Structure 1
């Protein structure tokens, strides 16, 4: 678990990052198509879209390692558009890399992470750069929302949509990592990690490493404590209390989650949304809850007070309890 040279703890996300496309977890159809591009030596510009922690960056690095081998770092430029949003990064850094002479390979790869953070002007400049250096440069763009990428860029790329990773795949990968690190764990601990991750493999691995650092068995209690995640039954109790008209009890549960457990309002909304159809409530109540949930989520995103909005959500549900 410790670094042999300095005794430092490695970050498991990097330590166990897949080195080949075939090792990328959760997207067999995508990796098969990408592998065919590599095998045919016919790599187009690529656009990877999907939530965080689903393998977009990992797949990009794996492509570079398969094409360039040990020379991959000399032929692979990684930029983060959320840090370098302006048009200058497109005109300067990308062009400088694209123009640099290199030998032995037909093209180099520029990986632009969080490309949906680029301004429209920067994206327009990027489109022209993609045209100008198409003979010797391939672009891989990564984003959360492909709709924020201008159409001229989308039309120049093969688009791959990375969905949240299946729970079974996350669980299997976590068990494999636990075995490699010789960790003691329980199945309810793995289930808790999968629930907290919600399809995000990076979050799952980081949570496993954090839970292992306690020195105890990785179990449900440890996982929920270190991930600041409410147990599904706590969320269900809070919502059920409100639906039953007991606003005081629902508010008390909410207060415990926010004040004592440190959960953010957005996290609570996400957990309620994920679980609403699993609650044992009538369909009309679930629909009403979702309606108010969407309104609260929007208001919080616009800067409203989280606690006020969540209490208003529970109050609205409780007021309609008898309908």
Structure 2
């Protein structure tokens, strides 16, 4: 037995053979473009002039109030405060001085009592390792703060008062109405506007240049249209389209397919059936749309835009949009998509016949 073990070389240290060809080479780290092109400094933040101006003044004086950023998704709320924090603290102190919590995951009173309170009570120095001055306070970023429970928001108010010497808070939310009044009164409020089409186009073209993408003008216009002011969504769709068409040109058709948007010809065809067709033909058209896998909520959203822009009377438009609200509620409750869309289209057909 001993001879067998000795022959097998048990106990001998294995020799390091080194890298085995090109497979052992380190591959470049792949990062989603949303993170890759996130603003690194406050000056790179697009379209939010008021917020940028206030933050730049605060950075010069190294003082900051408690902040409340609100507005639609993908407009740069989180990116702005992260860029400001990086400029304040530098790369080395950033991790020690900034606590970022996503309040949709951690939104109970226990988190405020433990994580937030403990971090807020720590005191910090007013200099950086590189010798530059930095503020003697930390920053706590609460993303999606409108998801926090009312007791957690009330507990946060007290912490905000007590630790004002050592900590600044930045609350980020989509709906300011869901933040309690005592918190909003303690913060400087900034509304982030949906990005203008021109700004979105500039940023998307810049990314296309850096990634050496082939694209058409129509594809960029389609990206701006389907993203509805949400730059994050636009950049994600662009990356998907780039991966789908590796060496080919990115077209508006590819963007529409990736975004799950119903082609405008189909929406026009549905409306024409409602205005001039029969109920039997309407049934077939609606069934085909639903069977093709288009989401009823997406059809509803695009129908709403078309109805508002149509030549119907204001009274008819109000009746149809009221029905749309009912259908939207039923869909969110899990009702059958085909029946709900047929119900809506029959109302559109009825109002069109009467006018």
Residue aligning to 2:323 = 292
What are the within-5 Å matches in structure 2 for residues 79-228 of structure 1? 79-104=101-126, 105-214=135-244, 215=246, 216-228=248-260
Deviations 1:2-42 (A, max 9, x none): xx942453200000001111211122232222222222323
Using the TM superposition, name which of 62-71 and 290-299 deviates more. 290-299
Between stretches 84-93 and 161-170, larger displacement belongs to 161-170
Asked which structure has the greater CA Rg, the reply is 2
Residue 43 (structure 1) aligns with: 64
RMSD: 2.0
Q: Distance in 2 between matches of 1:248 and 1:50?
A: 44
Partner residue of 1:308? 339
2:143–2:172: 8 Å Cα contact kept in structure 1?
yes
Aligned residues of 2:112 and 2:155 also touching (Cα < 8 A): yes
TM, length-normalised to structure 2? 0.84
Equivalent-residue separation in structure 2 for 1:164 and 1:247 (angstroms): 40
Residues 278 and 232 (structure 1), Cα distance of their counterparts in 2 relative to 1, 3 Å cut? farther
What is the match of residue 268 of structure 2?
Answer: 236
Q: Distance in 1 between matches of 2:335 and 2:71?
A: 27
C-alpha deviation, 1:283, in angstroms: 4.1
Cα distance change on mapping 1:274 and 1:141 into 2, 3 Å: farther
2:59 pairs with 1:27:
no
- C-alpha distance in 1 between matches for 2:280 and 2:227: 31
Q: Distance in 2 between matches of 1:174 and 1:321?
A: 41
Counterparts of 1:248 and 1:170, CA distance in 2: 43
Per the normalisation by structure 1, the TM-score is 0.92
Deviations 1:153-192 (A, max 9, x none): 0000111111221122111211111111010000111111
Change (3 A) 1:256 1:5: farther
Aligned residues: 319
Is the 2:200–2:224 contact (alpha carbons within 8 Å) kept by the matching residues of 1? yes
Q: Structure 2, unaligned stretches of length 5 or more?
A: 1-24, 127-134
Quickly say closer, same or farther: Cα 1:15–1:256, change in 2 above 3 A.
Answer: farther
Instruction: Report what 2:27 is aligned to.
Output: 6
Distance 2:43 2:224 in 1: 22
